[in-house]
């Protein structure tokens, strides 16, 4: 599912669900700044953060990297 800012028609978030009720998140998730640069990106597995999640500042420089397992932060890099 993609979410857009209505007045500006700009994409600000995308996420994936495996059911029509939009209760089961699974797959890629991403958030964007108003300038179109990515803010954060990662994956969900059974509604929980899983794997590497990254964050960037508005100019596109990476600021954070955290590995998740079953919704819990397990390491930072």
Q: What is the pLDDT of residues 12-64, one digit of tens each?
A: 999 999 999 999 999 999 999 988 899 999 999 999 999 999 999 999 999 99
Residue 8 has a pLDDT of: 84
User: Over the chain, what HEC string results?
Assistant: CEEEECCCCEEEEEEEECCCCCCCEEEEEEEECCCCCEEEEEEEECCEEEEEEEEECCCCCEEEEEEEECCEEEEEC
Domain ranges of the chain: 2-76
Residue 6 has pLDDT above 90, yes or no: no
- What does pTM read for this prediction? 0.85
């Amino acid at each position: 599912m993609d979410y857009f800012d209505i007045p500006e028609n700009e994409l600000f978030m995308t996420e994936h669900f495996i059911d029509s009720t939009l209760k089961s998140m699974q797959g890629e998730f991403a958030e964007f700044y108003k300038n179109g640069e990515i803010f954060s990106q990662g994956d969900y597995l059974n509604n929980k953060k899983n794997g590497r999640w990254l964050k960037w500042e508005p100019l596109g420089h990476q600021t954070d990297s955290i590995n998740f397992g079953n919704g819990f932060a397990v390491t930072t890099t």
